[in-house]
């Protein structure tokens, strides 16, 4: 079992692999040497518009409205036989519990009328989960006609993105768990996945626990699984280093925002590679410019 130390993550936040779609956007072209092979690869990849809100807190309802607006736009493009590229949104949410379409309230350990946070029933699959600061939520709005019209393939591809992020950037050897959707490290679920597909356009997506407060999960049965735990990248690194080097809590807390940035960059890179998409950052659609966002810094632990 390989795990990076926090010191190694801070010093070497991203491994040495260079994906052209990622570096082309991140750095000025004159500062990046991209191989001819990489240029050819990128030229065959499809375009994906990227809305970057990873360092702000977006209320769940606002993010849901944004997704639905993008889905409606894509359906219109398909009906008119026009080109329909994919869209990726990455953000964080203020504290909220969400339930899937068929979720049971028996998995809530509190009275809904006296909930510690908002409870929202959504149209995604899966059971109840919690979103909060320190968790990166990735909403790919993917036209599966451009990839593979197979929902099992799509779920496994999303899991693959997270598994690659955890191993390539944090040296955490995570895996799938037979019979369940998501990504696990031992007994702990580090990433949850819930999707909705309409006319072969997939939306909703995955939530990766990076450096969040995990105690709100105690108020629910996460994903309806009673005999498993929920974990985070920060928790795994904390436990490993505390057992090896006696790491202080202050040092880890100070690094939370850095872990978010590192995990975000790795998510974009691995998503680009797994789905063979060239990522192009764009602004919010004109009709969503008033999406309410709050700086994550004010919620930092």
Catalytic residue positions? Answer: 223
| 9/30 Cα distance (integer angstroms) | 27
Full DSSP string of 68-109:
HHHHHHHHHHHHTT----EEEEEEE--SEEEE-TT--GGGBS
Q: Which helix (H) or strand (E) holds 207?
A: strand 201-209
Picking from 53, 1, 10, 277, the residue whose alpha carbon sits closest to that of residue 169 is 10
DSSP 8-state symbol, 128: -
DSSP 8-state symbol, 5: -
- Burial class for 119, CB neighbours closer than 10 Å (0-12, 13-18, 19+): middle
Tokens, residue 8: 């190694």
Q: What is the largest CA-CA distance in the chain?
A: 61
Q: Which residue, chain included where needed, has tokens 């899937």?
A: 100
Q: How far is CA 207 from CA 113, 133, 182, 267, in A?
A: 26, 11, 9, 11
Q: How far is CA 294 from CA 59, 80, 144, 218, 298, in A?
A: 9, 37, 32, 26, 8
| 213/189 Cα distance (integer angstroms) | 14
| 66/293 Cα distance (integer angstroms) | 12
């Amino acid at each position: 079992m390989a795990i990076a130390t926090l010191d190694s993550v801070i010093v070497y936040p991203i491994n040495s692999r260079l994906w052209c779609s990622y570096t082309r956007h991140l750095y000025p072209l004159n500062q990046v040497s991209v191989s001819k092979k990489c240029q050819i690869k990128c030229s065959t990849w499809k375009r994906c518009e990227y809305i970057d809100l990873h360092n702000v807190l977006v209320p769940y309802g606002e993010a849901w409205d944004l997704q639905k607006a993008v889905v409606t736009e894509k359906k219109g493009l398909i009906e008119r036989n026009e080109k329909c590229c994919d869209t990726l949104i990455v953000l964080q949410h203020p504290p909220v519990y969400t339930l899937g379409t068929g979720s049971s309230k028996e998995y809530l350990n509190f009275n809904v009328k006296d909930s510690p946070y908002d409870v929202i029933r959504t149209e995604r699959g899966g059971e109840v989960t919690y979103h909060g600061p320190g968790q990166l939520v990735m909403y790919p709005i993917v036209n599966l006609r451009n990839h593979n019209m197979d929902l099992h393939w799509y779920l496994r591809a999303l899991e693959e993105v997270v598994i690659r992020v955890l191993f390539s950037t944090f040296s955490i050897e995570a895996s799938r768990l037979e019979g369940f959707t998501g990504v696990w490290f031992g007994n702990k679920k580090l990433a949850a996945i819930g999707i909705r597909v309409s006319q072969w356009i997939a939306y909703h997506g995955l939530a990766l626990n990076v450096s969040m407060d995990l105690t709100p999960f105690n108020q629910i049965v996460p994903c309806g699984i009673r005999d498993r735990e929920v974990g985070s990248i920060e928790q795994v690194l904390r436990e490993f280093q505390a057992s090896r080097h006696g790491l202080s809590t202050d040092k880890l807390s100070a690094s939370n925002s850095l872990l978010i940035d590192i995990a975000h960059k790795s998510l974009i890179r691995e998503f680009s590679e797994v789905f063979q998409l060239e990522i192009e950052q764009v602004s919010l659609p004109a009709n969503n410019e008033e999406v309410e966002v709050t700086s994550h810094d004010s919620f930092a632990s």
